[in-house]
Structure 1
Amino acid sequence: MKKAKLQELDELRPEYQRTDFGELVRGKYASRISEETNVVVPEPDVAKAFPNGHVVEFRHPGK
């Protein structure tokens, strides 16, 4: 995309004013996301048997 196009996309539409929106807070929901995120890291021997999610679905259909 050209720089002119990027600047166009970065502008608010005329019907909106920056004052219409509340104060922005960086990272406001970061703690909530970190609490809700669930990452499972399998043991190496399990990872060999199930290298990706597609294999899990193939070996255990319907679960």
Structure 2
Amino acid sequence: MLSPHEIATLMLVNSNEHRLESLDPDVLALRHYELVEVRDRGGAAALQISARGRDLLKRLGMDAAR
């Protein structure tokens, strides 16, 4: 079960409007649940929502189309 902070962090990763640290405790939890991934973008690591994360947001009724 995700905490409200973890759900909010998942929404932030999906929006790509905020830069989040990959070692943030909420981000680490989302990575553990395979809801977000760290991707290499031009030599820099970036967080990206996974297919599983997009599916969860859809089931919660949140726009996850990215």
* TM above 0.5: no
Structure number with the higher strand fraction is 2
- Which range, TM-score by smaller chain? under 0.3
> TM (normalized to structure 2)?
0.22
Structure number with the higher helix fraction is 1
Larger Rg: 1
Structure with higher RCO (Cα < 8 A, 6+ apart): 2
